[in-house]
Amino acid sequence: MSESSELSDFRESASAWLSENFPASLAGKSVGMEGESVAALGDDLTAWRQRLAEQGWGAPTWPREYGGAGLSHPQVKVLNQEMEKVGAFNPIPMMAGMGVTMVGPTVLEYGTEDQKLKHLPGIASGEIRWCLGLSEPNAGSDLASLSTKAEDNGDQFVLNGQKVWTSGADISQWCGALVRTDSKAKKRDGISFVMLPMDQSGVETRPIKLIAGASPFCETYFNNAIAEKSDLLGKLNDGWSVVKRLLQHERQSQTGARGPSGAKPVPLQEMAKKYVGTNADGTLADVDLRVRLASHLMDSKAHGLTIGRITAEARGNVEVSAAASILKNSATHVAQTKSELTMEIMGAQGLGWEGAEFSSEELGSVREWLFGKAMSIYGGSFEVQNNIISKNILGLPETTQKG
C-alpha cells in the first residue's frame, strides 16, 4: 500500500527534524521507570526532552493547547518509525510517570477546561511526574473496598489513609488518588478521584524493597493531606467510573504496544546458541529447549500480530477497548516466559545475584525475571483480566464481585 502524500510529507519533515534535533549520543539508549538512568544520560537528555516537548511530541496525539501536537494515529506510527530508524526514543512518558499513559488521557476525557490547562502541559513536557494512589493494603484486586477517607473542608478535601504500590511516589510531584467521599453509600458509589501535590507535609512516602531489590514502588501515607476541590476529577462520588477508564488506559499501556525504545535486545535464539551450543546441523543442542523456544517465539509473534490486527481493524482510530485485557494477559505471558527461558538458557550464569563473575546482562536478566512476576499482579491481575473478559466481552454472568 502506498502512503498518502500527506503522510509522506509528514514523514519527510519528521525525518528532517530528527536529524537536526536528536542528539547522536543518545542513539540506542532508553530511560527506565526508576528514573536513575535519566541522570546518567545528562544534559543531552534534558535538551532532547525540551526539544521534543516544544514540538508537542512527548504526547503527540494530545491537542496543541494542552502540550501535544494534535497528530493522528497514522502520523504517530510514521513518527515512531522515523524515530526507530535513528535509534531515537521518547523519554517523556517515562519521565512523566503515570502522566502520559494514564492520568493525561483520563483528564482529557473527564477534566474541566481549567484542569486540562493546569495539568496536561506539564505532563506532555515531561516536567511533572505523576503517581497514582489506588491500591491499599486491604484493597488490591478488590479495589473498590478502599478506605482512604477524604473529608469535605470547604474548598478542600482532607485526606487520611494509606496507599500502597504507588509507583514512583517518592519522585513524583503530583498524585491521582482514589478516595472514599461517602462512607454510607455502596462501596463503588462513595468513591471520588482527586489530584493532589506530593510536596506537602501531609504526604509521606516509603519505598518498598522487592524480591528483585530496589523498586519504584512505595507506600504512601496521607495524614491530613490536602487536595483542592478544583482538582476533583469527574463528579463527586463518581470516581469509580473515572478509575475504570483510567485502568483501561493502564491495561492499554501494558499491552506491549510500545513506541520506539531505542535499545535493541539480542534475539533469544542467538543467546541460546551462545550458551547452549548447537549440533553439527546448526540446531540447538538442547532439543527440549528448542521446541519450547519455538513455541515462545510463536507466541511472541502472535502477540505482535494481534496488536497490529486490532490497530488495523480500528482503521487507525485507536481507542482503548475491551481487547486491552486480552493483550495485557498475552503480553504478560510472553514476557514472563521470555524471562524464564532467558534464565534457563544462561544456566548458572543466569542465577547470579551480584559480582564480577556475572555480566551486567546476566545480572540484569535475573532482576528482570523477578520484577516480571509483578506483571501478572499489577494493573489488574491475570485473574482480574479474565473476569473482565468473561463478563464484559463474553457476556457471562458476574460471580466474584459483590457490592
Partner 1 sequence: MAALTEEQSMLKDQASAWVVEQSPVASFREMRDSGVETAFIPTCWQSMVDMGWTGILVPEQYGGSDLGYLTFGVVLEQLGRQLAASPLFASALVGASAVLIAGSDEQKQSLLPKIVDGTEILTLAVDEGAHHAPADLALRAEASADGFVLNGTKTLVVEGMSATTLVVAARTANGITLFVVPADAPGITRQRLTMLDSRGYANVAFADVAIPASAVLGTVDQGAESLDAILDRARAGLAAEMLGTAAQAFDLTLDYLKTREQFGRVIGSFQALGHRAAGLFTSMELTRSCMEAALQAIDAKAENVPEMCALSKCKVGDFLHEMSNQLIQIHGGIGMTDEFDAGFYLKRARVAEHLFGNQAFHRERYATLLGF
Q: How near is the Cβ of 317 to partner 1 at its closest, in Å?
A: 11
Q: Per CB under 8 A, which of residues 321..380 are in contact with partner 1?
A: 323, 326, 329-330
Q: How far apart are CA 293 and CA 345, in angstroms?
A: 10
Please check whether residue 242 is in contact with residue 193, taking contact to mean a CB–CB distance below 8 angstroms.
Answer: yes
Q: Which is nearer to partner 1, 244 or 274 (CB)?
A: 274
* Residue 249, CA distances (Å) to 85, 108, 215 in order: 27, 12, 23
Which residue number, 206 or 309, has a Cβ lying nearer to partner 1? 309
Task: Figure out which of the listed residues 81, 230, 283, 317 binds partner 1, where binding follows CB under 8 A.
Answer: 283
Q: Where are the alpha helices (DSSP H) in 72-186?
A: 73-85, 92-95, 104-110, 113-124
Q: Count Cβ atoms within 10 A of the Cβ of residue 1 and give its class: 0-12 exposed, 13-18 middle, 19 or more buried.
A: exposed
CB atoms within 10 A of CB 334: 20
Give the residue numbers annotated as catalytic, written as ranges. Answer: 250
**Using CB under 8 A as the criterion, what x/- string covers residues 301-320 for binding partner 1?**
xxx-xx-xx--xx-x-----
* Count of C-beta atoms within a 10 Å radius of residue 402: 8
Q: Find the shortest distance in angstroms from Cβ 254 to partner 1.
A: 15
Site string for partner 1, 34-53 (x = CB under 8 A): --------------------
Binding range to partner 1, per CB under 8 A, among 138-146, 212-220, 252-260, 392-400: 392-400
**Least distance from C-beta 249 to partner 1, angstroms?**
20
Q: List Cβ neighbours of 83 (8 Å cut-off, separation of 6 or more).
A: 18, 22, 89, 90, 259, 260
- Compute φ and ψ for 329, nearest 5 degrees: -65, -40
Q: Are 375 and 335 in contact (CB under 8 A)?
A: yes
Residue 248 grid cell? 483501561
Whether the CA torsion 324, 326, 332, 338 is positive or negative: it is: negative
- The answer to whether 399 contacts partner 1 (rule: CB under 8 A) is yes
- By beta-carbon proximity to partner 1, the closer residue of 230 and 279 is 279
Pick one of 53, 95, 284, 343: the residue that binds partner 1 (CB under 8 A).
Answer: 284
CB of 258 to partner 1, least distance (A): 18
Handedness of CA 323, 326, 328, 334 (dihedral sign): negative
CB of 287 to partner 1, least distance (A): 10
Contacts with partner 1 in 63-92 (CB under 8 A)? none
Neighbour tally for 209: CB within 10 Å: 9
Instruction: Please give the DSSP secondary-structure letter assigned to residue 217.
Output: -
Q: How far, CA to CA in Å, does 196 sit from each of 12, 158, 159, 179, 278?
A: 42, 11, 10, 12, 57
The smaller minimum CB distance to partner 1, of residues 371 and 382, is found at 382
Candidate ranges 6-14, 40-48, 227-235, 269-277; the one touching partner 1 (CB under 8 A): 269-277
**Binders of partner 1 among 233-262, rule CB under 8 A?**
none
When the beta carbons of 213 and 308 are compared against partner 1, the nearer one is 308
Question: Of residues 16, 24, 266, 298, which one binds partner 1 by CB under 8 A?
Answer: 298
Q: How far is the CB of 7 from partner 1 (least distance, A)?
A: 17
Binding site residues, partner 1, CB under 8 A? 269, 272-273, 278, 282-284, 290-291, 293-295, 297-299, 301-303, 305-306, 308-309, 312-313, 315, 323, 326, 329-330, 383, 385-387, 389-391, 393-400
